[in-house]
Structure 1
């Protein structure tokens, strides 16, 4: 008999905790079942196998991550907004490594719920880009560049990729300041040729 109160949301939260502790790639139905005190077959009433569980985790974490970025940017603009978002981004990746790993694969466009959850973070970033005067047509390119830089740093940091004794805190601040300068002088999209 399934445990009372067991829902996809409860399972996703417990799975997210396990992912943070053991790694998203090591997330299994058996680990979640053990943690919530049920047999593995009982989970199939709530999630569609391990891929369904991982999807639930990704959706939950995408909303959580996007909301954190949005709160960081709230009431700030331009440089201050980007600094705050970059700090929130790194902090989330550091404190929730498994949840952060769940965010690294874009959802299927046919999965409307997952796409909407992942878009929460994009909306926060679009508002930051508007503070730099970037039109929506340029914002996605700028967001991709920003995400690539921040992700590269936090991923290298998490994997021990910075072995020199200089402060990574200082290096991250320098990276963010360089990104601010790049956004101030962002190349504007040229009109389509022959249009």
Structure 2
């Protein structure tokens, strides 16, 4: 009986500990062109527990992919465990997965919705974002870093009929890999970041 109770007690402690741990997750919202690619790149990062594709940065409510998303960026909402990866770690991973010099979009995708941007929720995030951006500027003194740091606004996940965009790289791997290769994303990332590119 004591052994059974011991197991029950241990299970309960583990259950509540995991719940407490889950409460400590944080979120980051980043735009880096195609959200399929951003989702793929960040779900590979240790400490990231979830990545959702969607739109943010615009005033239009409930934007859609095939409908109107004017003024919005394609972005991802990243849920992460700060005990494993810090916000700075998220940002460091972000920079080496984008082209920070492209003022027209990202890679083969051009247009306002494909621009890169960091969306900050508070002053602490802003300071860290500015610090990492300054490091990129210092590393590339002959190029202009165009990625802005913007105040966070409502994030609208892709949903409903368009929910196939979530986990697209997993569910449509052949099409996704073909798109990514044709878009030249990885070759451009290697040109900029060398072996720091994480694809």
TM-score by length of 1: 0.28
Greater length-normalized contact order (CA 8 Å, ≥ 6 residues apart): 2
TM-score by length of 2: 0.27
- Whichever structure has more helix as a proportion of its residues is 1
